[in-house]
Structure 1
Amino acid sequence: MIVIGVDAHKATHTAAAVNGLTAELLGDVTVKARQHGHAQLLAWASGLDEQRVWAIEDCRILSSGLERALLEAGEHVLRVPPKLMANQRKSERTFSKSDPIDALAIARAAIREPNLPSAVLPGIEHEIGLLVDHRDDLVKESTGYQRRLRWHLHQLDPEYEIPAQGFTNPSNVDKVGRRLQRMEQVTQVRICRDLVRRIRELNKYANELRKEIGRLVRQTHPELLAIPGIGILCAGSIIAEVDGIGRFRTEAQLASYAGVAPLDASSGRQQRHRLNRTGNRKLNRALHIVAVTQIRVYPPATEYYERRKTEGKSNREALRTLKRHLARRVFNTLQIQTA
């Protein structure tokens, strides 16, 4: 069996094939990142070995087209986190960097890590992920406009107090808009009115996207919302980043993928674990938000958190154990729904 590592770029894809047992380089090739290039890559791989696994750096903005072509052709595709590839490249004898070197590092990282998630054809999870990411972009854009509006308003009237909920509340945006209408229409006031208009439009669209995400989550994974602390947006992020629970054979694999499985850092008589800084950071962030929310509003989670602290764990360590527990619960919930 061979493992083919692929370093994907916007214009080209570079592949390196290695022996699945010895990790010895068998050859590499660079093709155009187009449909005919995908066909060339498949033909090249077919001439090497019929038993093969593809390992692609997990950067789906660049690799989604190739992933789809390989999956539709019946190929087995693994996703390799960029950090694993970078760590593998650092361990090589050469300090050079090129696309063939990166592709080789991806292939060898896939051999070293046996529990990498498999890629699947885009489904409803992909659609939810697109909506979640688009809404996040709109919220960030609106937040930037809100910061600029605050400074302009302070310069125009230092005594004016921004309402407590800021400009996420539509009524507050409307109040500021009416106040600006009554002022002399100097340049700075006109800029503020333009910012108000943009904020109003972005907030409205973000709210519409939230409703759409909510409908899709309730249609596909309603049981996920039954877990205390998981709201519409966190559920959407979890669904999108898990991208099909069938990719994970065990809950430990999901925990590792999310970066919530602690890493053993024991030495001699000292037995300890350290923070896992790898894994899918979006999924990790979603679990973090749920854990913090549960500690605040869900008594069983609060008791679990406090018990861990009485056992000698720090606040952060206790929070990490709760996130690990949540990963197990999310896995079991999604497994039941797909059964």
Structure 2
Amino acid sequence: MPDKEEVRVIVGVDTHADTHHVAVVTEHGRPLADREFVATGSGYRKIVEFARSYGEVVAFGVECTGTYGAALTKVLRSEGLSVVEVNRPNRQQRRLRGKSDPLDAYDATESVLAERCTAVPKDKDGPVECMGVLRASRSSAMKARTAAINQIKDLLVSSPEVIREKYRGMVTAAMIAAMSRARPAGHHADPVHVTAWTLKKLACRYQSLTEEITEADSALKEILDAYAPLLCDLPGVGVEVASQLLVTVGDNLERVGSEAQFAALVGVAPVPASSGKTSRHRLSRGGDRNANKALHHVVLVRMGSDPRTKAYVAKRTLEGKGKREIMRRLKRYVARELFRQIMNPVPAPSIADLRPLRQELGLTLQNAAEHLHQWPSYLSRLERGQTRNDSLISAYRRWLEEQAAPARG
């Protein structure tokens, strides 16, 4: 066995549900040993002992640090060891070289040595991990609720006329409430009775899932209020968007070192698509697609209600840019703003004085809206703290103070 005082080693781990295969190589890539361990607490400790017996451990390359390798990653970090998240082996290499657990473990060490994988695994022991668990439960409940309402509507299409007539013209909420209150009576061999009975069961399921989703939303909001209360102050950002972005980043914010890395992580980093005389960028297809979907939602909301975004869209449209190109750029700008708010939260400006001062001066929302070129309803939401626009708040306050100056003089 090599002298561990003179040898620095890299360790690769191919993780599975019940076992982990571990390979050890020198920092120059020479294989030293590999062995299989059980995926239990005692097995994790034996992995650490096995790796250290060959020298100073430079880093562990672990596959699936968020699933099969999550528990091992926690143990390794508690021992003060560096852990790098390793992607699964390249499929082309697998076809040429074959596949086995030892080969996958050695591939993990090669990825670390070649610095192809440098991602820091997420910490899974904080409030963001709690949000991830809640979101997983909420997502499955949403899918099940959608399936339930689709089944209800499908049944109504072919149900007996006496049932179709009863619920015809009702909106979903009223229809679900009526179905859940129904008291079908009859024999199970009667199509009318069985259809009514099934619709009632599906309606009760729909209501139960709606309650489960509401409880998950409340729990998510409670965590956000304690962990990142200022993130939802930004226009277009609600509980759904904020929780998804935080889950994408993880509890350890330091794993995302720069705003450009965050943009790549959420799939909005521009990808060059130039050729010849054409110079352009295209949408990124990488990154977390759920986080990208959250940014897409923010952009859609702002395009419909935010004055700055509307002005930007109008400007780019006049320049001949298409909607997809405009939204690509907006996603990039939104990602920059959200990254800054996640890393260095900035509270929204105080708006408590706006409405009292306007009313004291005898001005209406229409007066302010005409001067600031905004809709009165938008200014009303601004005064009540239901939307955030820092530049507009400053302009609104300056205008009110200008109106108050002559009266005070």
Asked if Structure 1 and Structure 2 have the same fold, meaning a TM-score greater than 0.5 normalized by the shorter chain, the answer is yes
Which position in structure 1 is the counterpart of 2:183? Answer: 181
Q: 1:23 to 1:225 in 2, by over 3 A?
A: farther
Which position in structure 2 is the counterpart of 1:90? Answer: 92
Which position in structure 1 is the counterpart of 2:60? Answer: 54
- Separation (CA, whole Å) in 1 of partners of 2:266 and 2:205: 35
Correspondent of 1:212 among 219, 222, 241: 219
Which position in structure 2 is the counterpart of 1:304? Answer: 312
Q: 1:262 to 1:10 in 2, by over 3 A?
A: same
Correspondent of 1:155 among 154, 158, 177: 158
Q: 1:26 to 1:224 in 2, by over 3 A?
A: farther
Contact 1:89 1:105 in 2 (8 A): no
Is 2:82 the partner of 1:79? no
Contact 1:78 1:119 in 2 (8 A): no
Structure 1 residue identity aligned to 2:151: R
Correspondent of 2:40 among 26, 34, 39: 34
Number of matched residues?
328
Structure-1-length-normalised TM-score: 0.84
Pairwise CA distance, 1:217: 0.5
- Separation (CA, whole Å) in 2 of partners of 1:43 and 1:209: 42
- Separation (CA, whole Å) in 2 of partners of 1:267 and 1:6: 41
Is 2:285 the partner of 1:277? yes
Sequence identity percentage = 27
Correspondent of 1:68 among 67, 71, 74: 74
Which position in structure 1 is the counterpart of 2:397? Answer: none
Structure-2-length-normalised TM-score: 0.71
Q: 1:295 to 1:104 in 2, by over 3 A?
A: farther
Which position in structure 2 is the counterpart of 1:327? Answer: 335
Q: 1:125 to 1:149 in 2, by over 3 A?
A: same
Using CA pairs under 8 Å that are at least 6 residues apart, name the structure with larger relative contact order, 1 or 2.
1
Correspondent of 2:259 among 238, 251, 262: 251
Pairwise CA distance, 1:229: 0.9
Which position in structure 1 is the counterpart of 2:359? Answer: none
Pairwise CA distance, 1:34: 1.0
Q: 1:293 to 1:95 in 2, by over 3 A?
A: farther
Q: 1:230 to 1:104 in 2, by over 3 A?
A: farther
> RMSD of aligned C-alpha atoms?
2.8
Q: Deviations over 1:17-50 (max 9, x none)?
A: 4555x65655433211111221121112213342
- Separation (CA, whole Å) in 2 of partners of 1:27 and 1:312: 61
Of structures 1 and 2, the larger Rg is shown by 2
